[in-house]
Amino acid sequence: MRLKGMFWILTLLLSVIPAIMAYYLLYTSSFYAFLAVEGLILITVIYLFVFYRRIIKPLQVIGDGMDLLKEQDFSSRLRRVGQVEADRIVDVFNKMMEQLKNERLYVREQNHFLDLLINASSLGVVILDLDENIQAANPAAYRIFGLKQSENITGKKLARIASPLATALTQIKKYDSQVIRLNNADIYKCTHSSFIDRGFQHSFHLIESLTEDVFKAEKKAYEKVIRMIAHEVNNTTAGITSTLDVLQQTFKESEQTEDISEVLQVAIERCYGMSRFITNFADVVRIPEPQLQEKDLNQLVSSGKRFMENACRNRNIQIVMDLSAISPTVKIDGALFEQVLVNIIKNAAESIEKDGKIYIRTSHHPVCLDIADTGKGIDKETESRLFSPFFSTKPRGQGLGLIFIREVMNKHSYSFSLQTEADGLTHFRIWM
């Protein structure tokens, strides 16, 4: 525009000045001098016209092209100006703009496709900005963190999210992967990596749920082991018990063999004890499918409390009830849940040992059962192994109680957690 303005100023000067000279010569000199000046004016105008068509207009077109690039308007095109060299530039520019438009559409389509793929993925994806704040997170990440989509976590640090998994992610070094077990028995493979976007490096976390696959593999493994052991032990103890019974009857008929009979009785009871021991393992494998019925949660809890009250009283452990005023109605297998409840209270009492309290609370919104105890608590290392097969912190523990609870809760599709919290109490929570 500046060049075009300068051209019109020059044109005005070159036209006006000779015109003034022509009229001056007309009155002060000859008629031929006037014609000469008028001819000069005509030649100047023709020259300026040619100059505009060959120089100014192509430069103006190029300037318009620069403006289109600056505004990133790749849909507009330049018009040919009728000048060979300029038209070649116009053709190249229009071709370049067409390529840029197509590439931009391709990138936009690719980005849209990747957005759809990430949002539909079962992998949790959390992208961080340059300040390590959350820039984006897909629906799977919200679900894994236990958050609702309405809770906006963009711009927050991972450590500020109320999720134990988010806290664990902050401990993973870049370009490293870890398998993380949470206090609710969930297992995740977490990867911390990065990518380059517009010259800047962005960190991201990939979260893959391994819970179901690990549970299936674990169950398949311990089912095989338990069945093999149970078969061998039961067959062996059955034969030994039968032989010992015959010997005991024989010695009972003889005189002065009371001591031998007592020893044989101890051996028989030990065989039965071993059989019951292995049967406990087999029962974990044979957990039936739950028969769901609508039950009053407060009544179920009260029934479990009455069943364990005497055992707790012997240890001077008080069970404190804090039940919801509106008792929640839940779809549950009452028999299986009572066994779960007994296991939890039994574990709490064993953690306390003597002189303590067990708090049992129910809530209506959300429907939740919380059993807390004043026992010695659970450290972080133990917390990650709680729901592993055959793991127990007790000297004579079989590691089956929590596995049984885990299997029953999974069959009911209930979520749960077990951890020692800031209040010093160890909480076992079940969300129904």
Q: Extract the tokens encoding 175.
A: 């370009």
Q: Report how far residue 60's alpha carbon sits from residue 74's, in angstroms, rounded to the nearest whole number.
A: 18
Sign, CA dihedral 112-113-114-116, equals positive
Nearest to 5 by CA among 78, 60, 80: 60
Q: Report how far residue 33's alpha carbon sits from residue 24's, in angstroms, rounded to the nearest whole number.
A: 10
Q: Report how far residue 409's alpha carbon sits from residue 343's, in angstroms, rounded to the nearest whole number.
A: 13
- The residues near 316 (Cβ < 8 Å, ≥ 6 apart) are 354, 355, 356
> What does pTM read for this prediction?
0.55
> How many CB atoms within 10 Å of residue 312?
20
Q: Report how far residue 166's alpha carbon sits from residue 160's, in angstroms, rounded to the nearest whole number.
A: 8
Tokens 């300029």 found at: 86
Q: Extract the tokens encoding 49.
A: 């016209």
For helices 297-313 and 334-352, the axis angle rounded to 10 degrees is 40
Burial tier of 202 (Cβ tally within 10 Å: 0-12, 13-18, 19+): middle
Please provide residue 157's backbone torsions phi and psi, each rounded to the nearest 5 degrees: -80, 150
Q: Extract the tokens encoding 43.
A: 């030649």
**Across the strands, what pairs with 165?**
none
Tokens 């009544």 found at: 299
3-state SS assignment for residue 14: helix
Q: Extract the tokens encoding 17.
A: 């000045």
Number of DSSP helices (H) and strands (E) in the chain, helices first = 12, 12
- Contact between residue 408 and residue 339 where contact means Cβ atoms under 8 Å apart: yes
- The residues near 153 (Cβ < 8 Å, ≥ 6 apart) are 134, 137, 142, 145, 147, 161
**pLDDT tens series, the chain, 432 aa:** 454 555 555 555 555 555 555 555 555 555 555 556 556 656 666 655 665 556 556 666 666 666 666 666 666 666 676 666 667 777 777 787 777 777 777 777 777 777 777 788 888 888 888 888 888 888 888 888 888 877 888 888 888 888 888 888 888 888 888 888 887 778 888 999 888 877 788 888 998 888 777 777 777 766 777 777 776 677 777 777 777 777 777 766 666 666 677 777 777 777 777 777 666 666 666 677 888 889 899 988 888 888 888 888 888 989 999 988 888 889 998 888 888 888 888 888 888 888 899 999 999 888 899 999 998 888 877 776 777 766 666 656 666 678 788 888 888 888 888 888 888 899 999 988
